[in-house]
Amino acid sequence: MQKQTGKTGGGGGSAAAKRGRPFGSTTGSGAAAAAAAAAVGDPAAPAALVGPSLHVLTALSDQNNKRIVLALQSGLKSEILWALNALTVLSFKEKDDLRRDTTPLAKVPGLLDALLQVIDDWRDIAIPRDHTKPPRVRTLGVNTTISGFGLENVGKVYSDSTTPPNDQSKIEGSTITKKRSAGFLFDEDGLFNIDDEGRTERQQCAVAASNIIRNFSFMPENETIMVQHRHCLETIFQCLEDQNAEDDELITNMLEALVNLAPILDLRIFSSSKPSYIKMTEKSAVHAIMGMLSSSIKAWHCAAAELIGRLIINPDNESFLVPVISQIYRRLVDLLSVPAFDAQAAAVSALYNVSEVNVDCRLKLASERWAVDRLLKIVKAPHPVSEVCRKAAVILESLVSEPQNRMHLLVHENNFAEILTSEGKYSDTFARILYELTARPSNKVTSGQAIWGNIN
Cα–Cα distance between 249 and 300 in angstroms, integer?
Answer: 11
Query: 127 falls in which pLDDT band (50, 70, 90)?
Result: low
Number of domains, the chain = 1
Contacts 24+ apart (CB under 8 A), 146-153: 151/183, 151/186
Residue 252, domain member (yes or no): no
Domain assignment of residue 12, yes or no: no
Q: In the predicted model, what is the mean pLDDT of the chain?
A: 74
* 3-class DSSP string for 237-254: HHHHHCCCCCCHHHHHHH
CA end-to-end span of the chain:
63
Q: What share of the chain is helix, strand, coil (3-state, %, to 5)?
A: 65, 0, 35
Residue 361 lies in a domain: yes
State how far the Cα of 182 lies from the Cα of 152, in Å rounded to an integer. 12
User: Is 424 inside a domain boundary?
Assistant: yes
Nearest alpha-carbon partner for 321 in 262, 396, 241 = 262
Question: What CATH number is attached to the domain comprising 368?
Answer: 1.25.10
DSSP H helices, 262-324, are 282-293, 298-311, 315-321
Q: How confident is the model at residue 289 (pLDDT cuts 50, 70, 90)?
A: very high
For residue 363, being part of any structural domain is answered with yes
Write down the pLDDT at residue 36.
44
Rg value, the chain, Cα: 30
Q: Is residue 70 part of a domain?
A: no
- pLDDT value at residue 448: 41
Q: Is the pLDDT of residue 223 over 60?
A: yes
pLDDT for 181? 45
| pLDDT at site 438 | 77
CA distance 456 to 448: 7
Q: Which domain holds residue 384?
A: 318-456
Which residues, at least 6 apart from 91, have a Cβ–Cβ distance to it below 8 Å? 1, 2, 103, 212, 215, 216
Amino acid found at 272: S
Tell me the residue type at 437: L
Does residue 88 belong to any structural domain of this protein? no
How distant is the alpha carbon of residue 166 from its chain centre?
A: 67
Considering the domain boundaries, does residue 436 fall inside one? yes
